[in-house]
């Protein structure tokens, strides 16, 4: 029986949209559609913004190292708004005890999942034995996963590559998945390209090694009981729907950040939800309310507005919106009027502020 069928059945039994949507959450994999962890991008303001478009998407934090949590300002790294849920915390580390302690902190802070980064190729993290270099050490990764699983009740998952350097075959990846899943890790998010650890920057490592979705599909075939989520180069909901014929979930990174309007129809198209589609104007109005509140608490406007630059991507006025924010949001004491004005430059509507658009443009 399909997830959709179950959800509709429950809708007719209970007959309320909220229960319907709750049933959808249960009927589909929690990882059916995810926004990727992205350092410096998916911070709490960004996640709040993206959540306005979609209720069902699972959002990931930026990677937080165990060192930052255990010896740094943990409160700052873990802070998030309850409205962002469901949110997964991504950890970077390779010491099982430290990861277990950090996972407990994440669980206590309210995150719904702990994810281990085994895919980041940067030199800096490699030196700390963090990220993609761990793909060469499946036994150590298994120890890390076992320690975290033992420490927390929430799901512990992993994000990895299809390989690294010369460790680049279906057999190697199968061995990695088999070893790590033996600890009870049930969900693997797989970026469908290898990481080249010497000679390519992290950015190049997201573009140069070719995508190999077939290897990810083969893992799903070999391990049908595991939840396999595919990542890398996905740009549309149509592609996502197509990929979901072979795997349990899709994760999108750059496209979701640069063109967030992509998320506006995720709930309806991938979860069969009856939530209304949020317009960009509604999203902006709600984000303005959020930003007002954050400004009162001392957050600088630029830390929030930098994430909304792609809101009107591809539409008339998008450039003016971006330019106005880029030129004004960083100014000292920049207030909410900057975001309101930027919005009016695109929307040409009176709903966001009272000053007529002509006065703004002059």
Ligand X SMILES: Cc1cc2nc3c(=O)[nH]c(=O)nc-3n(C[C@H](O)[C@H](O)[C@H](O)COP(=O)(O)O)c2cc1C
Active site residues per annotation: 120
Nearest approach, Cβ of residue 156 and ligand X (Å): 15
Nearest approach, Cβ of residue 308 and ligand X (Å): 16
CB 11 within 8 A of CB 20: yes
Nearest approach, Cβ of residue 50 and ligand X (Å): 14
CB 67 within 8 A of CB 117: no
Site for ligand X in 253-312 (CB under 6 A): 253-255
Position 99 contacts ligand X (CB under 6 A)? no
Could you tell me which stretch among 23-31, 248-256, 286-294, 341-349 binds ligand X (CB under 6 A)?
248-256
Position 93 contacts ligand X (CB under 6 A)? no
Cα dihedral 225→196→90→251 (10° resolution)? -60
Residue from 20, 41, 111, 188 binding ligand X (CB under 6 A): 41
Main-chain dihedrals φ then ψ at residue 18, nearest 5 degrees: -70, -40
User: Beta strands of 125-239 (E only): which ranges?
Assistant: 156-161, 187-191, 227-231
Per-residue binding letters, 218-237, with ligand X (x by CB under 6 A): -------------xxxx---
User: Beta strands of the chain (E only): which ranges?
Assistant: 33-35, 58-65, 87-92, 113-118, 156-161, 187-191, 227-231, 249-252
Position 39 contacts ligand X (CB under 6 A)? yes
Site for ligand X in 120-139 (CB under 6 A): 120
Per DSSP, the three-state class of 118 is strand
Position 206 contacts ligand X (CB under 6 A)? yes
Provide the CB-side half-sphere exposure for 41 (13 A, CA). 17
Residues touching ligand X, count (CB under 6 A): 23
Helix (DSSP H) and strand (DSSP E) numbers for the chain: 18, 8
Q: Closest CB to ligand X belongs to which residue?
A: 253
Position 322 contacts ligand X (CB under 6 A)? no
Nearest approach, Cβ of residue 68 and ligand X (Å): 12
Binding site for ligand X (CB under 6 A): 36-41, 62-63, 90, 117, 119-120, 159, 191, 206, 231-234, 252-255
């Amino acid at each position: 029986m399909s997830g959709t069928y179950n959800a509709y059945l429950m809708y007719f039994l209970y007959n309320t949209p909220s229960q319907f949507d709750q049933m959808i959450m249960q009927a589909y994999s929690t990882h059916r559609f995810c926004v990727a962890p992205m350092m410096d991008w998916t911070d709490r303001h960004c996640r709040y913004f993206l959540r306005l478009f979609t209720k069902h998407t699972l959002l990931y934090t930026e990677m937080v190292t165990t060192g930052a949590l255990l010896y740094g300002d943990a409160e700052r790294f873990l802070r998030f708004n309850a409205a962002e849920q469901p949110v997964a915390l991504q950890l970077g580390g390779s010491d099982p005890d430290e990861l277990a302690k950090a996972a407990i902190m994440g669980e206590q802070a309210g995150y719904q999942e702990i994810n281990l980064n085994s895919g980041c190729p940067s030199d800096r993290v490699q030196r700390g034995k963090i990220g993609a270099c761990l793909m060469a050490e499946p036994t150590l990764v298994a120890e890390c996963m076992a320690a975290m699983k033992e420490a927390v009740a929430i799901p512990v998952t992993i994000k990895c590559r299809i390989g690294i350097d010369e460790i680049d075959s279906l057999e190697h990846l199968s061995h990695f998945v088999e070893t790590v899943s033996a600890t009870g890790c049930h969900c693997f998010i797989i970026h469908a390209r290898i990481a080249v650890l010497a000679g390519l920057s992290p950015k190049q490592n997201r573009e140069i090694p070719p995508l190999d979705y077939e290897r990810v599909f083969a893992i799903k075939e070999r391990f049908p009981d595991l939840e396999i989520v595919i990542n890398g180069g996905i740009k549309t909901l149509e592609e996502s729907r197509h990929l979901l014929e072979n795997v349990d979930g899709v994760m999108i990174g750059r496209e979701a950040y640069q063109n967030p309007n992509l998320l506006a129809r995720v709930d309806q198209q991938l979860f069969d939800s009856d939530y209304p589609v949020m317009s960009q104007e509604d999203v902006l109005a709600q984000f303005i309310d959020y930003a007002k509140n954050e400004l009162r608490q001392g957050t600088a406007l630029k830390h929030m507005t930098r994430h909304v630059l792609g809101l009107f991507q591809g539409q008339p006025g998008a450039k003016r919106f971006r330019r106005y924010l880029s030129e004004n949001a960083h100014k000292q004491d920049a207030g909410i009027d900057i975001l309101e004005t930027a919005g009016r430059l695109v929307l040409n509507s009176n709903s966001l502020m009272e000053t007529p658009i002509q006065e703004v443009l002059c």
